[in-house]
Amino acid sequence: MSGIGHASQDRSLSAAHRWRPILANLSAGICALAVVLYQSWFMPFFLPFFMGRDEFARLVFHALYGSVLIVSFAVLVVRRDVRKAIVPLAIAAAMAVAPVVLHPVGIVAKCYLITLFLGGAAIVMMLASSPATVLRLSASATALSAVICFLDLCFANGFTNTPGRAAGLAINPNVAAAGLLLGAAASYGAVAQKWRASFLVLVGAALLATLSRSTLLAAFAAVAAPIAVRLWQRFRDGRQFQIDLRDWARAIAVAFALLVAIGIASLTNNYFRVAVGESLGGVLSLNRALNEASAAVDTPLTAASPPRPGTLPPTTPAASFHADPPGNAVNAPSSRQPEARTLESGGPASPKAPSDTGAMPVPASNAMPSSASSSNSGQSQSANKMQALGQRLTDEGVRNSISARALFLERGLLAYREGGFFGRGLEEAQALAPHNSFVLFAIAFGHLGWLIPIGLVGFAFCFVRDARDLPLGVAVLGVMLTSHDVLLTPSLFLPVALGIGGMLAVKVEPAQNQRTGWSFAAGTVGGAALFVAGCVAILALTPQLSGGRLQNEAMFTSRGGYGARLPAPSFPGLFQFDDLPASQASYLREDGTPLRRVNWSAHSWPAVRQGEYTFRQRDTVLFAATDISDPRQNGRTYEVAVPLAVSALCFIVLGTILAWSIATAAACRGYLPRTD
């Protein structure tokens, strides 16, 4: 009987060994595809293309996620060493997912679940193939994103949604900066020693091009931490600190080339010069902006506070208690979040009811004595302050984006305090845009929510092997303190997961003669091919005219009329507004009534007359209302449409990605089986 048992065990072991090379190659190919699609921002860039194409989107995502799930599950069944290595992560992931069931599962909660799933599956697949090769591929994707950021900076009408700030395919500069920092912190150790300094210079320069001040601070801390540890270790051991001048010679050459690129961008992109000035000005005027914001929030709060029991009601007219009307909405100075809503204190906001319903003062005659009165008064004050913060935040980002972040954070903390033990759910938490991952999950899941981001930071530090692994934990902590997107965006969480997986790789048996180089190359080329195919589909299906509505906050007075930047096309960077000779089709309509187009003349004043419009630049329209009224105040809608042309940036980026994919695939094929 024992012989039969041993024979059965031997057969199962031999079957597992036969499956290991197959699973290693499948894991390598799919992991490479996921890294290229997400860490290079290919998939997020194409998400608008899937809107209105539900069946096609379902097919694409089910195929991608299904293949990831099947391969990961098979690896866990066959590879005992991988199962053992990820046990702590699996337990933590289960605990992080559990609070989701306490609230309705909306689009934000689904993004959170998908992010955790892709990150965990990527760790499993990298451990089953070649962790070092996956990290090198991650570093290569980070370098590609940095190069595309520089290309974006050289064009006034590039990918970015904030003119003058580089973003690349991430569209949002702050999100792009976070991706660059996390990608570099997770993978720089896998870069060849002779190119490591050049890699860091490239990523650092791209961070500067994004003008993301909070991410630059986090990057400084991530660089300073390992340097300080190594200096202390060398000082303690009495060793001399040596620098390889040959490596830094390459880095200096790269830095010089990037300085030339920035100089070219300052000449070709007027918005870049303006954005640099505004970024520096925002830092210098921060104290004044914070004081003004605090005063603006406290004034209506004091006026609207409920009278104390036994005091006479104020005789000032009610109109004097109201704050100034909120300004026009502007984009929050953070990752692509929807407009933040003002939520009613004490419960979820209903879309059918105005957000300030629960924020009215409690009449003195209805004031309840004892602790209940104090509790209701405290809730009313919190609701009033959240309403005042919401009003101020409608245009605080225009005044100073740093002070706007402070107000978003303050409102988020108020929402957490009034949200109940189990929180408000991820949908409402994300809508509040707290710009802090810790506060986001505290709002979403109450007191338990703090444990989720703390756990991620803990894993980034607890597997550290030496000073070289410290930047990942510091970068994760810094980004999570200034952004709420890390656990909601696969492109940001994936490099963090790969960095943690790289530190876990020491617990897994090294691969032997599995020849995964071809699989990594196939996944890399496949990701690039999908990007090219997506661009071709967009170019073929996008209408020739780009239409949109002019926003009041985008209008300004200019040359006797009113100007406004044209609404960006659906895929900025791939398209640009075409040159507009008089023969080309375009229109501007005021409540459906077409205005008459005239040719631009730099010498005429006014440049447009009653009911006329013209194009001063490719992206700016100049017009006058049909009755010479102020279009910002007359309550009318203005719809514009202009012809599109394929941008030169599109062809440059396509060529860059194709060259990158060929070079990366060749490098993957040349890697020896691992080595960790």
- The mean pLDDT of 656-661, rounded to a whole number, is 96
Are the CB atoms for 197 and 248 separated by under 8 Å?
Answer: yes
pLDDT-based confidence at 167, cuts 50/70/90? Answer: very high
- The mean pLDDT of 215-219, rounded to a whole number, is 94
Of the listed ranges 135-144, 335-344, 516-525, the least confidently predicted one is 335-344
Of the listed ranges 196-200, 207-211, 401-405, 617-621, the least confidently predicted one is 617-621
pLDDT of residue 312: 38
In this structure, is residue 522 part of a structural domain? Answer: no
114-150 pLDDT, tens digit each: 999 999 999 999 999 999 999 999 999 999 999 999 9
In this structure, is residue 403 part of a structural domain? Answer: no
**Cβ neighbours for 439, distance < 8 A, ≥ 6 positions apart:** 409, 412, 413, 416, 484
pLDDT of residue 316: 35
In this structure, is residue 563 part of a structural domain? Answer: yes
pLDDT of residue 149: 95
pLDDT of residue 367: 38
Inter-CA distances, 260 with 223, 257, 264, 321, Å? 24, 5, 6, 55
Rounded to whole angstroms, the Cα distance separating 268 from 72 reads: 47
pLDDT of residue 50: 92
pLDDT of residue 31: 96
In this structure, is residue 584 part of a structural domain? Answer: yes
In this structure, is residue 419 part of a structural domain? Answer: no
Of the listed ranges 5-9, 182-186, 344-348, 600-604, the least confidently predicted one is 344-348
pLDDT-based confidence at 346, cuts 50/70/90? Answer: very low
- The mean pLDDT of 341-362, rounded to a whole number, is 34
**Cβ neighbours for 553, distance < 8 A, ≥ 6 positions apart:** 327, 328, 329, 330, 395
Residue tagged 């094929």 (tokens): 669
Inter-CA distances, 258 with 206, 316, 435, 633, Å? 9, 61, 30, 45
pLDDT > 90? residue 59: yes
pLDDT of residue 674: 41
pLDDT of residue 25: 92
Q: Which of 35-44, 74-83, 260-269, 608-617 reaches the highest mean pLDDT? A: 35-44
Six token digits for residue 651: 């062809």
In this structure, is residue 626 part of a structural domain? Answer: yes
10-25 pLDDT, tens digit each: 555 565 667 888 899 9
Q: Nearest Cα to 151, choosing from 168, 176, 171, 172?
A: 168
Counting Cβ atoms within 10 Å, is residue 325 exposed (0-12), middle (13-18) or buried (19+)?
A: exposed
pLDDT > 70? residue 304: no
- The mean pLDDT of 363-375, rounded to a whole number, is 42
422-445 pLDDT, tens digit each: 999 999 999 999 999 999 999 999
pLDDT > 80? residue 8: no
In this structure, is residue 560 part of a structural domain? Answer: yes
How high does pLDDT run on average in the chain?
Answer: 81
- The residue ranking higher by pLDDT, 568 or 49, is 49
Number of compact structural domains in the chain: 1
Q: Which helix (H) or strand (E) element contains residue 256?
A: helix 245-268
pLDDT of residue 215: 95
Rounded to whole angstroms, the Cα distance separating 79 from 15 reads: 12
231-245 pLDDT, tens digit each: 888 787 777 666 666
Rounded to whole angstroms, the Cα distance separating 108 from 659 reads: 35
Rounded to whole angstroms, the Cα distance separating 637 from 627 reads: 14
Give exposure, 98-132, as e/b (b: 16+ Cβ within 10 Å): ebbeebeeeebbebbebbbbbbbbbbbbbbbbbbb
pLDDT > 50? residue 342: no
Domain extent, residue 591, equals 545-572+575-646
Neighbouring CB atoms inside 10 A of 61's CB total 13
pLDDT of residue 232: 86
Of the listed ranges 318-327, 552-561, 564-573, the least confidently predicted one is 318-327
Which of left, alpha, beta for 495 (phi over 0: left; psi -120 to 50: alpha)?
A: alpha
Sign of CA dihedral 566, 570, 575, 580: negative
pLDDT of residue 550: 86
Q: Nearest Cα to 574, choosing from 542, 545, 617, 548?
A: 542
- The residue ranking higher by pLDDT, 645 or 14, is 645
Rounded to whole angstroms, the Cα distance separating 290 from 288 reads: 5
How far from chain centre, in Å, is Cα 9?
A: 49
Beta strands in 363-421 (DSSP E): none
Model pTM score: 0.82
Rounded to whole angstroms, the Cα distance separating 143 from 36 reads: 12
Rounded to whole angstroms, the Cα distance separating 413 from 80 reads: 44
pLDDT-based confidence at 478, cuts 50/70/90? Answer: very high
pLDDT > 80? residue 576: no
Inter-CA distances, 663 with 140, 652, 667, 670, Å? 10, 17, 6, 11
In this structure, is residue 567 part of a structural domain? Answer: yes
pLDDT > 90? residue 386: no
Rounded to whole angstroms, the Cα distance separating 356 from 338 reads: 19
400-425 pLDDT, tens digit each: 788 888 888 989 999 998 888 899 99
90-119 pLDDT, tens digit each: 999 999 999 999 999 999 999 999 999 999
Residue 465 has what DSSP assignment?
-
